[in-house]
Amino acid sequence: MSSTLKIGEAAPDFELPGAGSQTVRLKDLRGKAVVLYFYPKDDTSGCTKEAMEFNRLRGDFAKAGAEIVGVSPDSVASHDKFRAKYGLDLSLAADEDKRMLEAYGVWTEKSMYGRKYMGVVRTTVLVDREGRVARVWEKVKVAGHADEVLAAAKAL
């Protein structure tokens, strides 16, 4: 469990530019469950698989009253290209200054081959209809993850 987020507490509010010239605000999504999936980078293998899995299930999420929002530090232009390349029809928000990523505790120090750097830890947060944190998945493994999140959204 993220040291930043606690189950039952209010999810940190945000307003971010999104793909397709939209603005994504948590307060605008009140009354729906919100799946915030945080991913490191557009058009990389794991991030593409994750986006495509959530995209494949977007109709089922909608039936469950849940909105899907992918968030990364990539630019809106990068998100637009990513959506177009893979036919994605879900919201992607750009947090280039990383304030929202930090508020959700997913912008952290990582290490690869002994080299330390800052990056996004693949994490999903399910926010309930009242804007409270319902569930957190940390260090997500992509295979089967979107299905697991859908089951949790349906259970809200």
Question: What is the set of active-site residues?
Answer: 47
Q: Which residues pair with 69 in a beta bridge?
A: 36, 91
- 137: part of which helix (H) or strand (E)? strand 133-137
- Residue written as tokens 């947060």? 125
The first and second tokens of residue 139, run together, are 């260090």
Is the Cβ–Cβ distance between 33 and 69 less than 8 Å? Answer: no
- Spatial distance between the Cα atoms of 92 and 22, rounded to a whole number of angstroms: 9
Q: Which residues contact 79 (CB under 8 A, 6 or more apart)?
A: 18, 19, 42, 72, 92, 93, 94
* Encoded amino acid at 140, one letter: V
The closest of 112, 125, 114 to 39, measured between CA atoms, is 125
